[in-house]
Amino acid sequence: MTRPREDSMSIVFRDLLILLALLMLTLVVLLIPLIKVQQESTRTEIEKAAGDMIAEITWASDSPADIDLWANAPKKNENVGYASPYGEIFNLVRDDLGRDVDFSGLNYEFIFSRGIPDGRYRFSIVYYSDNGMGNTPVDVNISIRYREGRLMHVVYEERMTLEYPGQEKGVISFEMRDRQLIEESKSFEPFEIFHGTLRRLEK
């Protein structure tokens, strides 16, 4: 017995839908690894462009506070931060002025190096201004890493609290030799970079 024409068309339409669904499923399965590779590639390119040593700080995106990152490099004892953003080794790539002055939606600063000469490196953070926030303490996330080939090694990752505007806290100092971290050289003794730089610039 011959089926009605409508049933035949329904079968064809159903089969077509099944084929399309299978095709879409196959494409999704094939694209997932590509998306992952693209994300990893993007992250790799960012790190590749960043330099040989990367120091970054972040703090609450809704905070109007202006927090500064400072670095001291061994070559010529150079200090790099907002008041002197460019050196032979370090560059301050981003100076964030706080939520109400910077409309990016993020509070973060980066310092990158060109090369890693032997010697001692120092990093500090400064509570530059509360921008009318009223001396509210600010938690600052700090990350310092260096490159070895395609690998990024962590020197220091921690959260510190700055209590009031004008306060500077030494984060860490350490020695590098032949592009390698000397673990036993890590020191957390108090030191200043920002205030010393200001005194030098005022002379």
Q: Are residues 57 and 42 in the same domain?
A: no
Integer angstrom CA distances of residue 30 from 22, 23, 33: 12, 11, 6
pLDDT at residue 133, as a whole number: 77
Exposure class string for 12-38: b at 16+ Cβ within 10 A, else e: eeeeeeeeeeeeeeeeeeeeeeeeeee
Q: Does 37 score more than 50 pLDDT?
A: no
Q: Are residues 158 and 80 in the same domain?
A: yes
Q: Are residues 100 and 160 in the same domain?
A: yes
Q: What's the mean pLDDT in 78-105?
A: 81
β partners of residue 92: 111
- Residue 15 makes CB contacts below 8 A (sequence gap 6+) with none
Q: Are residues 44 and 71 in the same domain?
A: no
Q: Bigger pLDDT: 4 or 157?
A: 157
- Alpha-carbon distance 107 to 140, whole Å? 10
How high does pLDDT run on average in the chain?
A: 81
Domain final position from 50, 69, 87: 50
For residue 16, the enclosing domain spans 1-50
pLDDT at residue 173, as a whole number: 97
Q: Bigger pLDDT: 145 or 3?
A: 145
Cβ neighbour number for residue 138 with a 10 Å cutoff:
24
Q: Are residues 33 and 96 in the same domain?
A: no
Q: Tokens 């008041």 sit at which residue?
A: 83
Q: Does 46 score more than 50 pLDDT?
A: no
Q: Are residues 72 and 26 in the same domain?
A: no
Q: Does 82 score more than 60 pLDDT?
A: yes
Q: Are residues 29 and 122 in the same domain?
A: no
pLDDT at residue 92, as a whole number: 93
Q: Are residues 3 and 72 in the same domain?
A: no
Q: Are residues 14 and 62 in the same domain?
A: no
- Structural contact between residues 197 and 84, judged by C-beta atoms closer than 8 angstroms: yes
Q: What's the mean pLDDT in 162-166?
A: 94
Q: Does 12 score more than 80 pLDDT?
A: no
Task: Report the number of distinct structural domains present in the chain.
Answer: 2
pLDDT at residue 134, as a whole number: 76
Q: Are residues 106 and 177 in the same domain?
A: yes
Full-model pTM: 0.72
pLDDT at residue 52, as a whole number: 93
Q: Are residues 40 and 106 in the same domain?
A: no
Q: Are residues 84 and 177 in the same domain?
A: yes
